[in-house]
């Protein structure tokens, strides 16, 4: 309530209405945003991280194989 008070000086009834509005609309908006934006980004990030880790491990293995030969 204090958070809303600092930005919007409105009546008690108005605050209740606003809170109900936020609690009803925000979750659906967030879930839509999450599905549309975050899931693809996270999936891409995980794929690139996994790919990078494989490349890094291959470099380490190659480096480890070269050392005994030299």
Instruction: Compute the C-alpha angle 57/63/65, nearest 5°.
Output: 105
> 44-55, pLDDT tens digit by residue?
888 888 877 777
Q: In the prediction, which pLDDT does 8 show?
A: 57
Among 6-15, 29-38, 47-56, which is the least confidently predicted range?
6-15
Return the percentage of the chain with pLDDT > 90, whole number.
0
Confidence of residue 6 (pLDDT cuts 50, 70, 90): low
Q: Which residues contact 5 (CB under 8 A, 6 or more apart)?
A: 15
């Amino acid at each position: 309530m204090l958070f809303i008070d600092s930005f919007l000086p409105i009546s008690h009834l108005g605050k209740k209405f606003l809170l109900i509005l936020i609690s009803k609309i925000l979750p659906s908006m967030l879930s839509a945003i999450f599905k549309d934006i975050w899931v693809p980004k996270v999936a891409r990030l995980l794929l690139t991280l996994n790919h990078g880790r494989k490349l890094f491990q291959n470099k380490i293995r190659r480096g480890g194989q070269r050392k005994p030969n030299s």
